[in-house]
Amino acid sequence: MLLSIPDLLNPAQIIKIHETLAGATFIDGKLSAGFAASRVKHNEELQPDPERMQRLVRIIMASLGHHETFRFGVLPHRVADPIFARYQPGMAYGEHVDDPIMGSVSPRFRSDVSMTIFLNPPASYDGGELVIRTPFGEQSVKLDAGAAVVYPSASLHRVAPVTRGERLVALTWIQSYVRDPARRELLYELNLAREQLLKTAPGETTTAYVDRSYANLLRMWGEL
């Protein structure tokens, strides 16, 4: 499932992120890539800076923790600290899948879901679309600043070349309580119906059936 989250970060948070990144050093993104990815990766990533990263991580994680679309669409178990990447003219990231196991130190975790958070307005740069291969063909994603997209980490995806301006994004990876993307999608859609029924017909027998089915499917498919 490819799921857009249009309002993950508010304008004040975007401003704070840009203020925190002002004057920061970015280094060659190949330094954090595996052998296969390093052959097609051409971007820059924020140089490790514990104090700056702490401020940035606090903003991102607070938004993820409070956003219902993220919580019910991803069913997060573990979330990696974000990476901040920028693309300037001529930079791109060729087709690849994300590493299956994330984390350089314990606890390491399985990457089920990838997330891109857009930090610059789409009109401020040309190119730079995130292109994801899906069963229905390629989907091109370029969202407003503060919006995010989540998609299965096993999906082949790429970043189209930037030809003007600067593409700035935050990236993170999630181990979900439900590993299978088809099951996550079913649970997400079932929960949308469940939430609506709980609001409009809380006392109906049908509502109780849907509520119980959601809970028991999550119990059946969930992994700790």
pLDDT for 128-157, tens place per residue? 999 999 998 999 999 999 999 999 999 999
Tell me, what's the pLDDT at 106?
A: 63
Whether pTM exceeds 0.85: yes
**Cβ atoms of 87 and 37 closer than 8 Å:** no
The average pLDDT across 5-33 equals 95
For residue 19, pLDDT over 80 is answered with: yes
Give me the helices (H) in 2-114, please. Answer: 11-21, 35-38, 50-66, 68-74
User: Which residue ranges make up each domain of the chain?
Assistant: 3-176, 181-221
Query: 3-176: which CATH number, 2.40.160.40, 1.10.8.10, 2.60.120.620, 3.90.1150.10?
Result: 2.60.120.620
pLDDT at 26 over 90: yes
Mean pLDDT of the chain: 95
| Tens-place pLDDT, residues 67-108 | 999 999 999 999 999 999 999 999 999 999 999 998 776 688
**Which candidate, 90, 164, 88, places its Cα nearest to that of 123?**
164
Confidence of residue 15 (pLDDT cuts 50, 70, 90): very high
Instruction: Give Cα 9 distance to the centre of its chain.
Output: 13
